[in-house]
A = this chain, B = another copy of it.
Amino acid sequence: MAAQRDQGHNGDQPPAAVTDVSARDVPAARERARAIPEAAVARLAVYLRVLSGMAEEGVSTISSEELAAAAGVNSAKLRKDLSYVGSYGTRGVGYDVDVLISEIERILGLTRKHSVAVVGIGNLGHALANYGGFPSRGFPVAALFDVDSDLMGVPVGGIPVEHIDDIEAICREREVNIGVIATPPSVAQDVCDRLVSGGVQCILNFAPVVLGVPDHVEVRKVDLAVEMQILSFHVARRADEALAEVTVDGTRPGVGEAVVGR
């Protein structure tokens, strides 16, 4: 079938030394939540989207095999991922789509409200603020910030842009949970610090810099240049391989059929 190989791009940073200061030799109880590998969490989010699509199409039950195919993963892995959430399948039948959606949402914490603030309303910030996919998935955009005085008060995606200097106060007031940084790299650390002092605990960073944050803050970065370079690496590798392939046995890499994702 050959769906895409998902991101191989992943972790670094001492998983137990720096970030996980707290969770060790603790009784148990929420141990279950902690035990979910981050990679599995990422996949759960994908399953959730696929399941939502299924639900809209009126599908009420799905087997691990079908869901795995739709999500582009191995069915064993899918079942193990779902087992982190709990046992909500029916043997011989499969999973109830609605139940699974509810349970995954619960585990991912999507039952809470997660207000988002976008900082840096330039090219990228505009696109993010206008994007309907966030509010519709439970991430309402609560505030936009910039330094540019021309932007002050201008509504983008229905939300007026506010001045960066008010960021702490506004974030606290509106209980912003997630800060999105779309400013130039040079000011990203400063913006990050301000978000943190505004009580924001989760940050999604688009600026190509490594942010330093306190232990209790979670940062994820989206670095397009890195993505490009990883692709570039694969181009180079493929070129080498194709060369070696031909040299060794004359076989050329097959072209295969294009499989439809959903």
A binding-site residues for B, Cβ under 8 Å: 1-15, 18-19, 21-23, 26-27, 29-30, 33-34, 36-39, 41-46, 48-50, 70-74, 77, 107-110, 112, 114, 116, 123-124, 126-128, 130-131, 133-134, 137-139, 177-178, 189, 192-193, 196, 201-205, 208-216, 218-241, 243-245, 248, 253-262
Contact = CB atoms under 8 A, between A and B. Distances in A.
B39 A232 contact: no
B107 A219 contact: no
A26 B201 contact: no
What copy number does this chain have within its complex? 2
Contact of A235 (B2, B127, B202): B202
Contact of A50 (B205, B210, B228, B238): B210
A260 B189 contact: yes
A236 B108 contact: yes
Most buried by B among A12, A19, A133, A257: A12
A222 B224 contact: yes
Contacts of A231: 114, 177-178, 202-204, 218, 220
A216 B253 contact: yes
Contacts of A227: 204, 220, 222
A36 B30 CA distance: 37
B221 A4 contact: yes
Given A204-B231, A229-B110, A245 B22 contact: yes
A139 B126 CA distance: 23
Given A14-B74, A222-B222, A39 B8 contact: yes
Contact of A42 (B71, B72, B230): B230
Nearest to A205: B4
Given A202-B235, A222-B227, A257 B74 contact: no
